[in-house]
Structure 1
Amino acid sequence: MNIHDIAKLAGVSSTTVSRFLNNGYVSQSKREQIQKVIEKTGYAPLLGAQTMRTKRKKLIGVIIPKISSESVSRTVDGISEAIAEQEYQILLGNTSNDPEKELQYLSIFQTNTDGILFMATILTEKHRQMLRGMKIPVVLIGQRLEGFDCAYYDDFGAAGELASLLIRSGCRRPGFIGVTLEDRAAGLARQNGFLEAMREASVDVPNERMCYGPFTMESGRRSMEKLLAVCPDLDGVFCATDSIAVGAMQTLRAAGRKIPQHVAVVGVGDSQISGIIEPALTTVHYHYKTSGAKAAGMLLDRLEHNPHSPQQVSLGFEVVMRGSCRC
C-alpha cells in the first residue's frame, strides 16, 4: 500500500496525503479522513526501506532566491505537487539573493539529496565550476545554461512585447528601470529585449534614461525620481518587475503625473498587486507554477531514466493588458 491507495480510500489527492505525512497544512476534515484510513489499514511510510531498496534518499533539494517572493512561492507550489506524486520530499534552501549561500546549498544538498532544483539568479564562474562537478542531477529554473537541464522564460521576447506596447501607445521618450545585468534573465535579457524593440522603432533611449537597482518597490521609487529629473517630459517606462513598477507609479502620482495619460507604465510578473493598484498594471504573465512542475518532471526523469542530452525548455508568456498603458 502507498499514498495513492491511502488517497483513494480517503477521497483526497495524493498531494494532500503527502502534506499530511510531512506535517504540512491539511484542513481538519481531510486530516481526520486520512487519519482514519491510516489507522484502519495500519499504513506507515517506510522511507528507510525505500532508501535501502533504491539507494535513494527520496529527498529533493530546492534552492530559492527569496522565500517571500510571489513568483517563487508559485514555482515551489508546482514543484511540490509534481514530486509528491512520486513520494519525494523537499528540502528548501532560501538564499536571500546571496550567491555565496547558493554555493553553500549546492554543496550541502549534493550529499543529502537525490537531486537539486535550482532557481538561479546570478551564475558566476564559481557556480559554473560547481555545477559541472556535481555528482547528482541539477535542473535550473529561470536561467539557461548550456549543458544543463533548464526550464526558463522568454525574458527577451516578453520585454520586447512590452516595449512594443509602449511604442504603439505613442511613447517617444521612454525610460527603463531594470535590475543587475549579472542576472542574465531578469537583468540582461529584459534589457536587451526592450532596447531591441526600441531600435527597431527608431526610438532613442539614451543612457541617462536607463536605471538599475534591486528587485524592490523602493528601487522603482528612487529610479523614477532620477528619470523625471533627467527627462521631465518622460512619457513611458518599462520596469523589469511588477514591484519596481508599483514603486515607479507611486513616484509618478506624487509628482502629479497621470498614468497612463502622461506616463505609460509596464511591468513583468503579473503579481497579485498588479491587478489591485489603480490604475491596474499592464504586465507579462509567466507560468511560474507550470515551470516548477516542468522542472520537477525533468529532474525525476533524469533520476529514473538519465536521458543522454540535456533538456532545455523555454516557457511561454502572456501579455496582460490593463489600465497603466494607453493601448
Structure 2
Amino acid sequence: MGAGTTVHAGLPRPSCAAAGVGAEGGRKMTIAEIARRAGVSKAAVSRYLNNGYVSSEKREAIRRVIEETGYVPSQQAQTLRTGKSHMIGVIVPRIDSESISRVVAGISRVLEEQGYRLLLANTDNRIEKELEYLEVFRSGNVDGVILVATMLSAAHRKALTALGVPAVLVGQQMDVMSCVFHDDRGAARAVTELLLQNGRRRVGYIGVTPRDKAAGAGRRAGYQDALHAAGEEPRPEWMEQSDFSIDGGYAAAERLLARVPDVEGIFCATDSIAIGAKKRLEEQGRHIPDDVALAGIGHSRMSELVRPRLATAHYYYQTSGEEAAHDLLEIIGQGVDRKKQLMLGFEVCPGESI
C-alpha cells in the first residue's frame, strides 16, 4: 500500500515484520542485512531511511541494495523510530456525495505528494459515529485528523479538544481549531438575489436543518438577507425543510406548493434538493423558468446535465480539501495550531432555470 492510498477505518493491523520485507522469496530482511550488503553501518542505513545525512557514496550503495532486494521498511518499525505513522484519519459524512468526493480528492492529492496515507472513515451522517471515530483516532496510530463536518455539538468540541493529535475542520467553523469553510451566507444571498433581479418577488426556500450551521443556518440567513435588501419580508409559509436528498427536495416542494401555489421562484440549499423540487414542479405542469424559477448551491455534475441547466453557486470543494491538508501538515511540522480560519469564495453560475 503506497503513499496516498485510501483505506477505510477501523485501523490497519500492525505489520509483524519489525524491520521490513524484501523481494527475495518473500523473506524478511533487516537493516543489519542491508548494511552488511552495502558495506556500511546500520546507523547509515537508518539515516538513509529517515532522510538524514549520508555521504553520496554510501547513499548510492544503500540505494542499490534496496533496489536489488525490493526492501520495504516496516511501517511499524518506522513509527517506533520516528514517532510518526504518516497516516492521516479523514472523517466524512457520506462517501456517495459528489461534493465530499471532491474534498477527499483534494486531501488525497496533497497527502500523496508529502508521503502520507489516508485512512477514511464514513459516518453515514450519524453524529454518534463521528464521535466514535474521533475516539478511535485519539487512541489510534494517526498523525492527524481532518473532519469534514456537518452538525457540530458540545460533544464535538470536547472530543476535538481532547483529541491529542492535530486536527483541521472542513465545511464548518469552530474557534478551537483551524478550519476551512465556504461563504454559505454570501453564496445563498447572491443566488437569491439572482432570482429577485429576474422579477421574481414571491421566492420560496427549501433548506436543511439549522443544526447544520453552514448549509442550514448560513444559507437560510443568506436567503433572508436578499429578501430584506429587496424590501421583501421572508414569510414562514415560504420556507420549507428537507434532508439533503433528491427525494427530500421532491417532498418539500410538494408541501411548499400546497401552501404557496403562486410561488414565483424557489431557492434550494443544495442542487440535489433543487433537482427533487424540479421533478415535482414538472409533474404539476409548471414550466421552468417561465412559471417558476429555480436555483440551488453546489454546482454538481447533475446541475449541468438537467434541462434547463440549473442556476447554482460553484464551491471550490477540492481546494478546500487541499487547503485543509496543507494546514494539517503545517501543524504537524511546526507543532503549533494557529487556528487559521479560511473562508473560500464562490462563483454564481446563472444556468437556464432563472
TM-score normalised to the size of structure 1? 0.87
Runs (4+) off by over 6 Å: 21-24
Contact residue 173 and residue 205 of structure 1 kept, 8 A: no
Letter in 2 for 1:75: V
The 5 Å alignment of 1:49-198 reads 49-112=77-140, 113-198=142-227
Letter in 1 for 2:122: N
Letter in 2 for 1:185: A
CA RMSD between the two structures: 2.0
For 1:32, the equivalent position in structure 2 comes to none
Letter in 2 for 1:230: R
Structure 1 residue 311, shift from structure 2 partner: 1.0
Structure 1 residue 190, shift from structure 2 partner: 0.3
For 1:262, the equivalent position in structure 2 comes to 291
For 1:217, the equivalent position in structure 2 comes to 246
CA shift digits 1:260-291 (9 cap, x unpaired):
11111110111110000010101111111111
Structure 1 residue 188, shift from structure 2 partner: 0.2
Structure 1 residue 205, shift from structure 2 partner: 2.4
Provide the rounded CA distance (Å) in 1 between the counterparts of 2:80 and 2:163: 23
CA shift digits 1:205-234 (9 cap, x unpaired):
210111012101111111111111111111
1:312 aligns with 2:344: no
Provide the rounded CA distance (Å) in 1 between the counterparts of 2:73 and 2:283: 58
For 2:236, the equivalent position in structure 1 comes to 207
Percent identity of paired positions between Structure 1 and Structure 2: 44
For 2:3, the equivalent position in structure 1 comes to 18
Structure 1 residue 52, shift from structure 2 partner: 2.5
The count of corresponding residues between Structure 1 and Structure 2 is 297
Letter in 1 for 2:285: G
Provide the rounded CA distance (Å) in 2 between the counterparts of 1:73 and 1:18: 19
Provide the rounded CA distance (Å) in 2 between the counterparts of 1:306 and 1:248: 48
Provide the rounded CA distance (Å) in 1 between the counterparts of 2:93 and 2:337: 29
Provide the rounded CA distance (Å) in 2 between the counterparts of 1:316 and 1:236: 25
For 2:255, the equivalent position in structure 1 comes to 226
For 1:29, the equivalent position in structure 2 comes to none
CA shift digits 1:153-205 (9 cap, x unpaired):
00000001001101101111110000000000000000001101111111232
In structure 1, which of residues 275, 294, 316 is the aligned counterpart of residue 323 of structure 2? 294
Cα 1:308–1:60 change in 2 (3 A) is closer
Indicate the structure (1 or 2) with the bigger Cα radius of gyration. Answer: 2
Provide the rounded CA distance (Å) in 2 between the counterparts of 1:101 and 1:251: 33
Provide the rounded CA distance (Å) in 1 between the counterparts of 2:241 and 2:234: 14
Structure 1 residue 43, shift from structure 2 partner: 5.2
Cα 1:308–1:109 change in 2 (3 A) is closer
For 1:250, the equivalent position in structure 2 comes to 279
Provide the rounded CA distance (Å) in 1 between the counterparts of 2:194 and 2:333: 44
Matched position secondary structure for 1:232: coil
Provide the rounded CA distance (Å) in 2 between the counterparts of 1:272 and 1:184: 25
Matched position secondary structure for 2:3: helix
CA shift digits 1:113-159 (9 cap, x unpaired):
11100011111111111112221111000000112100000000000
Provide the rounded CA distance (Å) in 2 between the counterparts of 1:311 and 1:114: 19
Letter in 2 for 1:137: P
Matched position secondary structure for 1:18: coil
